[in-house]
Each structure stands twice: as structure tokens, then as C-alpha cells.
Structure 1
Amino acid sequence: MPPEKCEESSEGCCWKRRTLLEKILIVLVLVIILVVLILVILLAVGVARYKDMQGEVCTTPECVQAASSVFKGIDFSVDPCNNFYDFACGNWRKTHVIPEHRTYLARFSVLREEVHVTLKYLLEGESKPNEPKAVQYAKKMYRSCINMTNIEERNLSAATELLDSFGGWPALGDQPGGRWVEDDFDLSLLLSKLMIYYNNPLIGFYVSVDSKNSSARMIFADQPGLNMPGRMFYLRGRNDEKLLAYKNLVKSVLLEFGADPDTINADINDQIEFEIALANITIPSNMRQNSEDLYNKYTVGELATFFPEPTKFKFVWKEYINQVFGMERINMQIEDDEPIVIEEPRYFDKLFVTLEKFSKRTIANYVIWSIMQNRIANLPSRFENLLTEYNKVLTGRVGSRPRWQKCTSFVNSYFGSAVGRLYVGEKFEEDAKIDMNSMIDGIEKAFGELLEELTWMDEDTKSLAKEKVDYIQRKIGYDDFILNDTALDHGYQNHSMDEHNYFGNIMKLLNLWVSRDFTKLRQPVNKNIWTTSPATVNAYYSSPYNRIMFPAGILQPPYYHKDHPRSLNYGGIGSLIGHEITHGFDDRGRQYDKYGNLNQWWGDVVIDKFINTSECFVRQYDKYSYPEAGGKLMDGFQTLGENIADNGGLKQAFKAYRAWVASRGKEETPLPSLNLTHSQLFFVNFAQIRCSNHRKADAIHHILTGAHSPPRFRVIGTLQNMKEFSDTFNCPAGSYMNPAHKCRLW
């Protein structure tokens, strides 16, 4: 039988004719080809995955900038669970030196100076055609401030004219600005004349929103501020270096005005004794926490009965009040039945008794010095040198701010809306308003969810607390009226600025502000009006307005940037949003209802539980030893309100951030060169907005007078109380940043 033929297309037939060796070789070749194909496929998949992983890193310019900023601040040699402040801020603190003109350097103060650089550029620009008058006045004010040649040439002429209008400064004797006559001394009249320039020694006197009816205004009288930063500076002994430095400042200024060096010592010694006595009758801030205790309503006609007028020299309550309200641009008559709130009766019970222990001359010297201490910074540079010497002892500041910084700061304070008009046009991005509103929505929602977890608050009070949050008014960026020329100029009608008369401009502005504020007594309260300049680096909560405010100046890195990761924004501005919201529920804010009225909307049982629970924070912060202040211990009660706001605010911001991540279904894209998750970055930025360096004198000053805890403990204290932080950084139980006992109110 002939052999079977195989067709070229018949593979089975061909295979049958192969030898065993050929078959083995063919199989081996096929296996090798298959292995190569698998390796090629795996390699391709690996390359693709590598490329995908590379694509997950955010490489936009904004992300690179954010990563660089975060990286430069961190000290990676520090274990975050041992000390998170030193971890997050360690390298920033090593690479930032406190300038001579500052007592401290902080992230927010660096940002503030950057804002003032922008203001310098804007205020030095030429006026444009049809520029609003308010903007023109701001530029003229700046030019008058920066012109030191003119200020030196004018010397003391404007100051001595001012002193003459007050009846003279007794300690100057027969020198210009002196020539005081004891028989002409009228304390009511003198105090009212100082109020023309918003200076109120002995009696803190002002018009403000009625605490119990926030739709109306009322007259208030309170204990005044003192000429040193706080009462404790007077109570540390007559040989305390800070009191001696203050005494030397008074003497040096008097000598510059021409006082007789052989006679002024007696005047100064008597004045210091009076200031010490005044400090002794003022009430410490830690005894002024209950707003209800500060609301003591009288009529003007009753004041002389409850707080008898002195007999040694002339002071009549009604005369004083009507002299203030009778000043030009106010021209208002106050009757006996006009209500007035005396915030501190304990002070006024002792004021006139204390005054009568001293001579008219001593009281007059003190009152006149009180306004001159505020005005010597507006005189020739030699007075600035005297202030520098005083501040060197008081706060450790060894230099003076550059003149342009002083001038931009002053103009921003008094022409805030006009300066804000320029700043917003130059720097502010409108998208920030939309973004901020979205963040506030999320943080308020988080507050409500955290509220449900509380065990010390009953359900009815929780419901009222939610209502108060819903009623919070928001102010973001700037008020729209600054873009309207007519509205912007309205506040400066019948006023002008002289670019060649700095001192005179200041006195005009002070008078403008006091007349504005006192005229409002009979005007309805506009709760929509802004109360701060858009070019401000800060944030606020107002109890009478139940309002949070975030000016344009703070809506920039490290707090916020629309193109930065949300982890950084929530850790930065988000923690501030939560902080300001929580102020509505701290030791003072909780006393005001959703309308901004002082009103006990909590029951007594809940109030007692709040006070008892908040004691945890007092004990916690009392234990912190501040290394920058030489190891001095903090005062947890003095800083209680801000500590409550820090702790509650951060919890809300983190909860809102995680809810935002959940809503998008995935984590944010990592930042380059940082081996940190976005939850970790949230806490890092929360800490880094607090990075700061302090001189020892300033740190001690902060401990004595500050309402906030030092930045170090605003970070450490808050994070020690957050389980979410410890979980995020895997901090072992019992480590410094993860103590077993944690405090919580909100």
C-alpha cells in the first residue's frame, strides 16, 4: 500500500510523520515561546502599573509648592509621637530668625508682612482718575506717615498745641504744653476732651450693641486699660525691671518735652504710686468670665447715687457723659433716664475713693500721660528710640519696625475698607468664597454630628445648639460695598487728609472714629456690616452678631489655596473655621443665644456639667511648662476659652475632611517627595500654621497676659486629646502625644 500523502494544510497528518526527537524539540520551542510571551506581558503590565503609580503623584505647580513648604518645615529626626510640634515645626524654627524689630516670628506674622508688602506697593502707587476719595485719603495718609523729614521739621509743635487744649501737662512746668493751673482743673471736662481722640483713662466709656438686645445699642462704662500691658506688671514690686523701664520712659519723654530734670522725679514717683493703686482696684481677667456679671444696668441719673462723685475735685457723671456726647459731629443730649451698663461695679465702687487719696496734679499728670504715651510714636524718631528701649525690657524687642511697615499697618487700621478695595483687586480670588462656604457647610454638619455624641448635654439643649450653628452668619473675603465708590466714600464725608501733616491726620482720624461710634447710639444695628479690614490676617467670631469672619488676607497659604490638597486646607483654614464656630460655645460664647443676646438658654444642670467638664482642660494646660519662657507654667483658666475652641474646632475639621474624602470615593492624590498620607498632612498643616519662635521676654509676657496658649501647646494640647490623631500616626498608648486621659467638651 503506498504511503499516505499529507496535504500541506493537514497539520495532524504532518505531526504523525515526525520522529520522537523532533516532537520533543518542537514542544520545547513552543514552551520557550510561551514563556517569553508571558514575560513580555508581565513586563508590559508592570510598566503600565509603574506609570500609573507615577501619575498618582500630584505634580501641578501648586502641589509642588505645597509639598515644598510642608517638607521645609518638618524635622524628620523627631518622632511625631514624642513631640508633634517639634516634628512638624522643628526645621521651620531652625531656619527662621526673629528680626530685631519683632518679639516673635510666626507663620501668620510672616504672612502678615507679605500682605503689608502688597499694601506698600498699592499705597505708593499714583492715584488714578476717578479714584474714590477714600482711596485717595488712604494714600495721602500713607505719604504723610512715610515723610520723616516733614515730621522731624514739625518737631513738637502739634503735640504742644494738643497739650494746651487739655489745659497743660503739669509735669512740664512753664514749658510749652505745660502751664497747668490747679484751680482750673476739671476732671469731667478733661476726660471728655481726651475722648475726642478715643482715649479713655480712668473710665472705659463706649457705645456698643446691647448684650441682651442685639438689635439695639447702649452706653457702657467699664474699668479702663492700664498704661502697662496688664495689672500684674504693677504688682511685682517697685523695683521690678519692667516697672522701672516704664518709669524711665515717662521721665525720658518729659525731658524731651523740656521738663525740669530737678523737679520731675517727684511728679513721676507720685504718678507711679497712683498707677499701682489703680491696678490694685482693677479686676483680674480670670474674674471677668461671666458675661451676666458684667451686665449691670442703671440709668445715668442713678450713677451719682450708686457711685458717689468725688468731693476733692470736680467730676459729675452726667456732665461728663453729656460733654462726650456733645462733641462736634455727635451733638446729642443724654437725659437722666438714659440706660447705661456698668460692666465692673467692683472697680467703680473704689475708683473715686482711690482718686481722692492723690492730688489733682498727680491725677492730671496720669491722665495727660495716658494720651501722650499713645501719641509719642507719631512724633520725631527720637521718641521711637525711647519706645524701643522700653520694649526691649518689656518684650525683648531690640529694634524698631521699618517705617513703611508702621505706615501700612496704621493706614490699614483706619482706612480698612479703602485699603481693602485695593488689596482685593490685586490679590483676592473670588472662587475662595464658594470654596469656603462649602467647607463651612461640612464643618457645621460635623459639629452637629459630634454634638449627638455628647453625654453631658441633654437633648433639648442639643437641639438649641444646632439652631445656634444654623444661625451663624458668615463673612468671607470682603464686604461688597467696598466695590461701590459712593458707599465707600460715604464714611469720609466732610473729612480730608493732608499729606504734609501726619500728626494732624491722626487726630482727625481718631475723632472720626469716636464720632462714628457714639453717633450709632440712636441708629439701628446693621448686623450685615463688616468690622474688620479685608487685608487682615486673622479670623473672628462675634457673640453679639453670632458671626464668623474670614477676611481676604488670611485666605492664602499656609491656611488656604484653592488648588492645594483639601487635607492642607482643612488642616489650615478648616481648623480655624471650626475654632471660630466653637467660640460660640466656649466659656463666654455659650452665654449668648442664636440671636446674639446674652441669655441663659442652657439649664442649670447642663451649665454645671459644662463647667465640670471644662475643668479637665484647665488641669491639662496648667501642667504645661513653657520652655521658651524659661519653664514657666501656663494658666489653664486664663486660656480656657481659646483651648476649648482649638480642641472642638480641630475635631470638626477632621471629621468634615474625612466626610469629604468619603463623598469622592477615594483618597486625594499624594504630594511628591512626602511619605505622608493626606490624613497625616491634615495634622501637619494644623501644626505648621502655629510654627513660631519667641524671645524669652515675649514668651513670659504671653504667659502673663495671653488669652491663647503659646503656639507649642495649642498644637500639643489639642492633639493629645484626639484619638484620631494617634490612630493616624500610630502613636503607642501612653506615649507623650497619646496619653491615656483625654479631655473633650465638643
Structure 2
Amino acid sequence: MRLLYIFITGQVLIALTSAAPGIKDDLTQDTPYIKELLRQAKTAEIESFMDQKADPCHDFYSFSCGNYARINSALSMQVFTTGIFQNLNNGFDRKVIKMLNTYEIHDSSEDIQVKYFYESCLRIKELNSTYTEKLKSLIAEFGSMPVLEGSSWEEEDFDWLETTARIAHQYEEIVIVGAEVFKDIVNNQRNRVYIVQQEFPLEKRSMYLNNETLIYREKYLGVIENILERFLAVEKELAKETAKELFDFEVELAEGLSSPGEGLSDLAELLTVAEIQERYSPTLDIKRLLSVSMGETISEEIYEYNKRYQQNLVEVIERTPKPTVANYIFYRLIYEFVEKPSDRPEKQKQACVDLTKKFFAKNLDNMFYRRYNNEKSSREIENMWRQIKSSFNDTLRSSQALDWIERPTRNLAIAKLQAMTLEVNNYAEDNFTEEFADLHLQSSDYVENVRRTNLLAAKRKRETLYQPAKPVEAGSKLSYSPANILIENTIKIPVALLQPFYLWSDVYPNAVMFGTLAYLIAHELIHGFDDNGRKFDAKGNSHDWWDERSSSNFLKRRECFTKQYGRYKYDGNLLKESTSQAENIADNGGMRLAYTAYRKWYESQVEKDLAKETLPNLRYTAKQLFFISFAQIWCNDVHPKVKTLQVLTDQHMPGKFRVIGPLSNFDEFSREFNCPSGSAMNPLEKCVLY
């Protein structure tokens, strides 16, 4: 007899006694023994997370996830958060690190260049003193930095708009404000220029302005100071003083950031260049910004994105000393090229994987897909997609299920659903040879590699303006979490979800896979019909296709969710009410849709085909197992220091409320767990949209 430890999601799940001491410990074997072993392991995982003493009708999250935080403590693991998506990402990263650290005969020349980039990051210490000189050379391409020049800096020679536009033209880096090329939201077959804001390191306006997030601002201020001192050799006191000036300037710029829940269709306004010029001239010379950054005069209409930002920018620029603006622009230029090496090899590897993802996410996804492609998982996803789509189609056609939507609008919703597609993000059709032409990355110089990558990206951006629109690329954001690309009416599934045993396995009951994988797909489908998604049509173009009565009914029903989720308390505080309910609508509708699809599948099976719809030694019915599996997607633990951050920056609810919110609105859940009417998980008033 021997102990066999089974790993499924990075945790030791169970120790089983094996009566077959000579069997090969290979989970890929298609044998009855291995299949049963995997089913036993899944049982052990599910039970280990549960607190079966908790009342499922009082708090189903505690019932399903009551032991999760003890087993997977964010504090003890020294991470921000733990959960299934972190496990998926960690598993993906482990495989990526393995790929990047080995050269194989089937590597393409583009694969090798990506590996060179990663290797140059690992060797960053070898740059030594030349690192500072390389960064200063970058600055010298566009002028001089006051903090480095001191009293010799000539203020009258500095033109902030010219400088930032030249940086964008050369390296595609938008500092303060700039021009981006993206699909036209009302005609997604072509591209247009958008006037957009820079990316902000702290991302959200609340991170820059709220008292609760002060600790994060203080940490970021320290980062700025460290970059000036360590990478530009600025004297300590001067670095501290300058960092404060730059940070205060960035906070003032952040005053103009958009509010949570505002989508692209809400914020983008199509105007002539002359109209935007008139709004902000002479402080913000849009014509010159476009001419320099795009390398040509733009004569056709363009989009202004979030005009509140530009309005605020004009006021901020007019009252800010030129040296501060100059220092900020050059600091943001080198920010893209700075990487602090770690003395711990494993930490450095992870940092370099993250940086390689930042620049070459789709290459890594494609490399992963070619190496680890699992046809079973791809077929499983496609099969689930068909069943989910069919179930929602039946719902839309029902005269009772969605009677709050007028028939003509419902017909347009059916057309949108029929046109909606699902794709695995494998980039198998991309021409990487063409994309990497003239790149020539090397394994020895990280700064030069970033420079060449950005140089090529800037050139490609300008060229795309007159090319047919290509599929949206969102980099590493699409690497492990599914997404609905509203402007394409397409759901993208990351290759990381193809990893077996996290969410799917052909030996798991369908109850488990519909409660997890199918739910995630259904969640994204419902996004096509939420606050923002309903503003895009079947072709993925922005236009209002809802009649007035149906739209009014949608808003009334949405208000129910606003009140419901505004009553929940997290970490002792009431969650803030928000008119934007996109994620809560998708959570509720996605769970209902996945369950409907599962129930239809279940009812179509003969009794002998349902033998494996439960797990060994787990005393729950197949339909109860669906709800437990759904809940356990959201089992997590959050480090105490980032709970406030989560509430202020994440449009998603904390995991607990992503479980109890949708399930307490669902009659079929209450029936399966015999929850009495009026109990916490079966309230008299329920919120329903889809």
C-alpha cells in the first residue's frame, strides 16, 4: 500500500491508499483507476472548502466556502488574494516559465525572439552603470529634464505638447494626452483616431482621491522617488522633493478620470478636429498634437474620449510650472523602461514573465496553445457554448420569460445572440512573422529590447489607421479571464482555461462543469445585454436598438439590483450603491442561464447516463452539486490590507456576494436546498432581469 497525493489546483487535496503499488502515477492515463482517482480527488477538494455545518439557507457562501480562507489564507501566503483565477494564472505562469527557459527544435524565430526578451530581463543586472546612461539617452532624444540639468535648464525652450507628441510618435507612449487608433464604435469595420488620456499607474480616480486609499498613494510616491534616485542618479533630497511635485501633478490630472461604469459608447464623441481644437485652444493644440504624433494632418472626424479629462487638463496645465510638467513627461517616458532587479531568482523570473506578458501576451498564449493544446477541452467549451446559446435563445423567444421586453426589441436581441461568436484566444491565424519583421530582439539588453518593441508598435499604430480593422487585442488582460468584446459581439476564452482539472475534466460530472465553465461563458454572454452591452448591436456597432418601454423596464429592474447589493456589508462597511450593475446583472443572468442549460441536458438523459452526475462519497444531488460548484468559483481570501482597494477599484462584488446575490434571487436554488420562504437565501423580493 502507498500514499498517492493528488494535486488539482495547486493544493494537496487528499491522500489516497492505493491497492496497486506498481501503477504509473500519470493523471493523463485513460484507465478506470485514474478516472476514479480523479473523481475521488474532486470530492476531497469540494469537501475541504465547505463548512457543512453552516446552514445553506442562511449563507450559502459560508456553506460552500467556509473553510477556504483557512486552507488558502492570503495573509499566510503573502499574496493579495487567493482563488480559482489566481490558481489558473499561477498554473499558466508555471508553464510559461518552463517554455521561456527552454529552447526547442519546434520554436519559431518569433518564439526565440520572445525568449530573448525574457532572457534580457533576467540579465538586467548586467547593465550595471550603463542602465542610467541608457535612460538619459532616451530623454536626450526629446530634450532635457530639469531635475537633471538644474539651473542650466532653459524653460523657454520647452514645449510640453510638442514633447509628448514626439514621444508618442517615436515610442507609442502616451504621456498626459495623445492619439490612439481604434475601431470606430459605430462602424467597426474601419479604424478612427481617438483623443485619449494617458494610462494611470493607480488606474482609478478613487485611488488618487479617496482617504481610504492613502496608503497606496504613499507607496506609489515612494516608487517615483526610487526611480529618480536609483535610475537617474538624482540626489536623495532632490529626488524626494521632485517626486512629490510629480505625484501632486498626477493627482490633479486624475481629477478628470471617468466614473465607474461609464463605457466607451458613453464617453466617445465624434467631432471634427476643428471642433475639438476650438474647445481647448490655445492651451491644448489638438491639430499640432495629431500632426506630430500621427506624422500627418488628420482631416477626417475623430473621437474625443472623456472630454472631462481634457477640460480638467487645460486647467491643470495652465497653473503648473513648466519644470514640473517637463520632469513629469520625462519621468513617464523612462517609467516604461525601468525594471528593478531582484536578488531572489524566483521573484525575478516572475517579474520577467509579467513583463514579457505585457509586451508579448498573445505570443505567449499562442506558444502555450501549440504546446499544451487539449482538444477535449476545446470541444467541451464549444459544446457548452451551443447549449448555453440555445437555452438563451429559448428564453428570448418565450412569451412569458422576458415579457418586460417588447417583441420587436426581443427580435433584435435574438439576432444579436445568433450573431454572437465564441473564440479561444489561441491566435492561431495571426502572422507573427510579419508582425516581428525588423524587430531583432536580443538576449543581452533589456532597455534596447523595450525601445525596439515600442518603436515598432508606434509605426504599426500609424499604419493601422488606413487598414481594415483587426480583432481587438487586450494583451495580458485576456490571458486567463473570459471577456465579451462588445465592439465585435464576440466572447474570448483564454487558453489558460484549457488547463485540465481546474474547471473541467472529462471525468467530472456535468454538474461541476456547467456550474463553473459554462457559468463563466454564460456570464460573458449576458454582458452583451447588460448596461453597456445593450448599447451595441448584432454587428458589434454602437447604436440604441431598444424601444422606450423596454429600456424603461430594464432601468427599473436594474434599480432592484442597485438596492440589493447596496445593502450588503463587507469588512464591516456597507458597499456603495452604484447605478452601474453590469457585473451583477451578468452574475445573476449567467448563473440562471448555465443552470437552465444544465437542467435541459439533465432532463434529456436516460437514467443510466446520469450515474456519474454525482461524486463518490459526496451526499449531494446533481443539481445541488451544480450550485456548490458555482459557489466555489468565488471561494477566496483577500489580504486585510487590500480589502478597501478591492471595494474601491473592482466593479465586481467581493466573492461572497457573487454567490449569495444571484442564488438568493433564484427560486430553483431555494427548491433544491429546501430554503423556507423569507429565509436569507430565499427572500420574498427577488431581482430578475434575464
Q: What TM-score results when the alignment is normalised by the length of structure 2? A: 0.88
1:591 to partner: Cα distance: 0.3
Match among 401, 404, 412 for residue 464 of structure 1: 412
Give the match's secondary structure for 1:562.
Answer: coil
Whether the 8 Å CA contact 1:419–1:535 is kept in 2: the answer is no
**Which of 584, 609, 632 is the matching residue for 1:643?**
584
Checking the alignment, whether the CA contact within 8 Å between 2:35 and 2:507 is kept in structure 1 is no
Determine whether 1:67 maps to 2:43: yes
Q: 1:708 to 1:161 in 2, by over 3 A?
A: same
- The DSSP-based 3-state class of the residue aligned with 1:597 is coil
Q: Please tell me whether the aligned partners of residues 81 and 636 of structure 2 are also in contact (alpha carbons under 8 angstroms).
A: yes
Distance 1:567 1:525, change over 3 A: same
1:512–1:105: structure 2 CA closer, same or farther, 3 Å change rule? farther
Pick from 540, 543, 549 the counterpart of residue 486 of structure 2.
Answer: 543
1:357 aligns with 2:319: yes
Is the 2:527–2:533 contact (alpha carbons within 8 Å) kept by the matching residues of 1?
yes
Corresponding residue for 1:387? none
Opposite residue 79 of structure 1, the aligned amino acid is D
> What does residue 664 of structure 1 align with?
605
Map Cα deviations across residues 349-370 of structure 1 (whole Å, 9 max, x no partner).
3422321111111111222233
Partners of 1:524 and 1:367 in 2: how far apart?
33
Asked if the contact 2:255/2:312 (under 8 Å) is kept, the reply is: no
State the match for 1:330 in structure 2: none
Distance 1:109 1:572 in 2: 15
2:501 aligned to which of 552, 557, 564: 557
Q: Secondary structure at the match of 1:481?
A: coil
Structure 1 window deviating more from structure 2 (194-203 vs 529-538): it is 529-538
Aligned-residue offset at 1:261: 4.2
Q: What residue number does 1:727 align with?
A: 671
SS of corresponding position for 2:512: helix
CA shift at 1:236, angstroms? 3.9
Q: Do the aligned partners of 1:474 and 1:547 also contact (CA within 8 Å) in 2?
A: yes
- State the SS of the aligned residue for 2:119: helix
Moved more, 357-366 or 533-542: 533-542
Matches within 5 A, 1:704-723: 704-723=648-667
Which of residues 93, 96, 104 in structure 2 aligns to 1:119? 96
Matched with 2:290 is 321
Structure 1 Cα separation of the partners of residues 459 and 570 of structure 2? 43
Determine if the alignment matches structure 1 residue 503 to structure 2 residue 447.
yes
Q: Which residue identity is paired with 1:702?
A: Q
State the alpha-carbon separation in 2 of the partners of residues 414 and 269 from structure 1.
Answer: 30
Q: Does 1:86 align with 2:62?
A: yes
Deviation at 1:658, TM superposition (A): 0.8
Structure 1 counterpart of 2:547:
603
Report deviation, 1:530: 6.6
Q: How has the CA–CA distance of structure 1 residues 625 and 358 changed in structure 2, closer, same or farther, with 3 Å as cutoff?
A: same
Pairing partner for 1:476 from 418, 421, 424: 424
Q: 1:411 to 1:268 in 2, by over 3 A?
A: closer
The secondary structure found in structure 1 opposite 2:465 is helix
In 2 relative to 1, CA 101–370 (structure 1 residues): closer, same or farther, beyond 3 Å?
farther
Structure 1 residues 531 and 252: alpha-carbon distance in aligned structure 2, compared to 1, 3 A threshold: closer
Distance of aligned partners of 1:265 and 1:488 in 2 relative to their CA distance in 1, 3 Å threshold = closer
Q: 2: distance between equivalents of 1:401 and 1:587? A: 42
- Whether 1:247 aligns to 2:221 is yes
Paired residue for 1:634, among 552, 558, 575?
Answer: 575
Q: Distance in 2 between matches of 1:532 and 1:244?
A: 28
Indicate yes or no: 2:351 matched with 1:406.
yes
* Alignment partner of 1:334 is 2:312: no
In structure 2, give the amino acid aligned to 1:222. V
Structure with bigger gyration radius: 1
> Partner of 1:37 in structure 2?
none
Contact kept, 8 Å, 2:145 with 2:330, in 1: the verdict is: yes
Q: CA deviation at 1:322?
A: 2.0
User: Number of aligned pairs?
Assistant: 649
Distance 1:108 1:152, change over 3 A: farther
Give the C-alpha shift of residue 239 in structure 1: 11
- Structure 1 residues 129-528: aligned runs within 5 Å: 131-152=107-128, 154-174=130-150, 180-195=153-168, 196-203=170-177, 205-236=179-210, 240-256=214-230, 257-264=232-239, 266-286=241-261, 288-289=262-263, 291-310=264-283, 316-326=285-295, 333-335=296-298, 337-376=299-338, 378-381=339-342, 402-451=347-396, 452=398, 453-476=401-424, 478-481=426-429, 487-527=431-471
Asked whether 1:77 is paired with 2:53, we answer yes
1:156 counterpart SS class: helix
Report if the CA contact (8 A) 2:212-2:644 is conserved: no
Kept after mapping to 2: 8 A contact 1:59/1:671 = no
Cα deviation 1:600-642 (Å, max 9, x = unaligned): 1111222121111101111111111112xxx222234276111
Query: Residue 420 and residue 260 in structure 1: after superposition, are their counterparts in 2 closer, same or farther (change >3 A)?
Result: closer
Residue range with higher mean Cα deviation, 722-731 or 255-264: 255-264
CA distance in 1, matches of 2:158, 2:449: 28
1:433 and 1:477 in contact (8 A); partners too: no
Separation of aligned partners in 1, 2:358 and 2:671: 44
Q: Would you say the 8 A contact 1:580–1:649 is kept in 2?
A: yes
Change (3 A) 1:270 1:537: closer
Q: Structure 1 residues 198 and 72 mapped into 2: Cα distance closer, same or farther (>3 Å)?
A: farther
Identity score, percent: 26
Say if 1:246 and 1:379 are closer, same or farther in 2 by CA, change over 3 A. Answer: closer
Question: Matched residues in 2 for 1:626 and 1:457: separation?
Answer: 34
Distance 1:188 1:447 in 2: 50
Q: What amino acid maps onto 1:648 in structure 2?
A: G
Give the secondary-structure state (helix, strand or coil) at the position aligned to 1:675: coil
Extract unaligned runs of 5+ from structure 1: 1-55, 327-332, 383-398
1:41 corresponds to: none
Equivalent residue in structure 2 for 1:685, among 610, 623, 629: 629
Q: Could you list the runs of 5+ residues in structure 2 that have no partner in the other structure?
A: 1-31
Cα 1:58–1:677 change in 2 (3 A) is farther
Residues 187 and 494 from structure 1, CA distance in 2 versus in 1: closer, same or farther, beyond 3 angstroms?
same
State the SS of the aligned residue for 1:324. Answer: helix
> Who is 1:594 aligned against?
538
Q: Which moved more, 1:256-265 or 1:457-466?
A: 256-265
Instruction: Decide whether aligned partners of structure 1 residues 159 and 187 sit closer, same or farther in structure 2, where only a CA change above 3 A counts.
Output: same
What is the TM-score normalised by the length of structure 1? 0.81
Instruction: Give the match for residue 620 of structure 2.
Output: 676
Instruction: Tell me the secondary structure at the aligned position of residue 296 of structure 1.
Output: strand
Shift of 1:659: 0.6
Distance 1:530 1:258, change over 3 A: closer
RMSD across aligned C-alpha pairs, in angstroms?
A: 2.8
Aligned to 1:43: none
- C-alpha displacement of 1:268: 4.0
Q: Deviation of residue 262 (structure 1)? A: 4.8
CA distance in 1, matches of 2:441, 2:548: 55
Is the contact made by 2:197 and 2:309 (CA closer than 8 Å) also made in structure 1?
yes
Output the amino acid matched with 1:711.
Answer: G
SS at match of 2:513: helix
Letter in 2 for 1:199: E
Distance of 2:506 and 2:129 partners within structure 1: 49
| Structure 1 range deviating more: 440-449 or 241-250 | 241-250
The correspondence for 1:702, drawn from 617, 631, 646, is 646
